[in-house]
Amino acid sequence: MDLDALRKEIDSIDQELLERLNKRVQLAQKVGHYKLERGMEVYVPSREEEVFGKLTANNQGPLPAEAVRAIYREIISAAISLEKPLKVAYLGPEATYTHQAALKNFGSSIPFTPMNSVPDVFTSVCRGDADYGVVPVENSTQGTVISTLDMLVESELTIVAQIYLKISHCLISQSPLEKIKSVHSKDNALGQCRQWLARMLPGVELVDSASTAASVEYAAKNPEAAAIASRIAAELYKVPIVEENVMDKTDNVTRFLVIGRTPTPLLGEGRDKTSLAFSLHDEAGSLLKALTPFSSRGINLCKIESRPSRRKAWDYYFYVDIIGHQDEPHVKEALEELEGICPVLKLLGSYPNSGL
């Protein structure tokens, strides 16, 4: 088959794909109208995971699973934007890693609003200015984002989804290495590159910025300054990349949360994760007592950490992630037992254990 014949066949397939995509969107619009008439949520992360799971299982290649998911992410994003205009707030400004995580989760057809801080994202969703919010919660190198944990306990919002984003930092500046006098970035980003900076730019001042994107904006106006940020931020502010992959660990991943006002339905079969926070009585063995309701039922704890509660000195909240959904009988039983043990118990949300 010659080149022209191959191109004609591709054109024919493109036309067929376009017709089928429009048919799919029309059906999605009918689903959207059904939901809106009954006060149901248009964005349902558990349903999306079912779709992605079926597509991955049925994919015969050569398209990799990641490509299939990315393509359908945009198809679903376009369909949602026609069903109901969603508004999503994120920790900004534009081109931050949180912005990239929001795009990965919601697609490019959804309007996004940058916010100045994590509490601002929560406030925007609480007030109804945004339908959902996206915030960072932990990094594989630097650990937990404290402001997000604090807001999860203080707010009435719930976690509805999670997103994992591979972080690839660049050193961005108008100057070469030998002429850089200061490096600016978010504190977490600087921490993820500390060894590289000490080796390649010893003695250079490290300056905490409001965000990685803001640091690039500063470097655009100050030739002797450099920023640690993403390639996308460098392109947005038109500042050259001096060095790529400057993070100390190549497997650098940040986990983000999607917060909303309506809980996510059960997926089941071990595909859900539940986050909660609780406090303990000041007595020997109290932590063991609090964890027993889970271990006795074979519930897997995939994360546990403590944080000062800010209610009184030396009082702590324990943040726990478990595998399972709060509506599953064995998880519900464990939570009811835990409630009788702990002075404070707060469910932070159940959501699909995916987002990779």
Whether residue 93 has a cis bond before it, omega within 30° of 0: yes
Tell me which of 112, 256, 278, 294 is the catalytic residue: 256
Task: Indicate if 254 belongs to the active site.
Answer: yes
Q: State the Cα–Cα distance between residues 260 and 269, nearest whole angstrom.
A: 24
Q: State the Cα–Cα distance between residues 60 and 322, nearest whole angstrom.
A: 33
Over residues 177-186, the pLDDT tens digits come to: 999 999 999 9
Mean pLDDT of the chain: 92
Q: What is the pLDDT of residue 262?
A: 94
CB 329 within 8 A of CB 267: no
| Residue given tokens 């067929």 in the structure block | 16
Q: What is the pLDDT of residue 282?
A: 80
Alpha-carbon distances, residue 60 vs 65, 189, 356 (angstroms)? 10, 39, 20
What is the pLDDT averaged over residues 182-206? 93
CA angle 245/249/254 to nearest 5° reads 90
Report whether pLDDT(355) > 70.
no
Q: What is the pLDDT of residue 85?
A: 81
Q: Which two tokens stand for residue 118?
A: 């994590």
DSSP string, 159-184: EEEEEEEE---EEEESS-GGG--EEE
Report whether pLDDT(130) > 90.
yes
Tell me which of 96, 254, 264, 274 is the catalytic residue: 254
Over residues 33-73, the pLDDT tens digits come to: 888 888 888 889 999 999 999 999 999 989 999 899 999 99
Band (pLDDT 50/70/90 cuts) for residue 84 is confident
Burial of 27 (0-12, 13-18, 19+ CB in 10 A): exposed
Q: State the Cα–Cα distance between residues 172 and 208, nearest whole angstrom.
A: 15
Q: HEC profile for 19-51? A: HHHHHHHHHHHHHHHHHHHCCCCCCCHHHHHHH
Over residues 86-95, the pLDDT tens digits come to: 899 999 889 9
Q: What is the pLDDT of residue 165?
A: 94
Domain 264-352's class? alpha beta
Report whether pLDDT(249) > 70.
yes
CB 225 within 8 A of CB 180: yes
Report whether pLDDT(195) > 70.
yes
What architecture is the 173-244 domain classified under in CATH?
3-Layer(aba) Sandwich (3.40)
Alpha-carbon distances, residue 62 vs 59, 68, 344 (angstroms)? 8, 10, 51
Band (pLDDT 50/70/90 cuts) for residue 314 is low
Q: What is the pLDDT of residue 313?
A: 59
Q: pTM for the full model?
A: 0.89
Domain 88-167+253-259's class? alpha beta
Same fold, 88-167+253-259 and 264-352: no
Q: What is the pLDDT of residue 311?
A: 67
Report whether pLDDT(290) > 70.
yes
Q: State the Cα–Cα distance between residues 19 and 351, nearest whole angstrom.
A: 33
Band (pLDDT 50/70/90 cuts) for residue 316 is confident
What architecture is the 3-83 domain classified under in CATH?
Up-down Bundle (1.20)
CB 122 within 8 A of CB 151: yes
Q: Where are the domains of the chain?
A: 3-83, 88-167+253-259, 173-244, 264-352
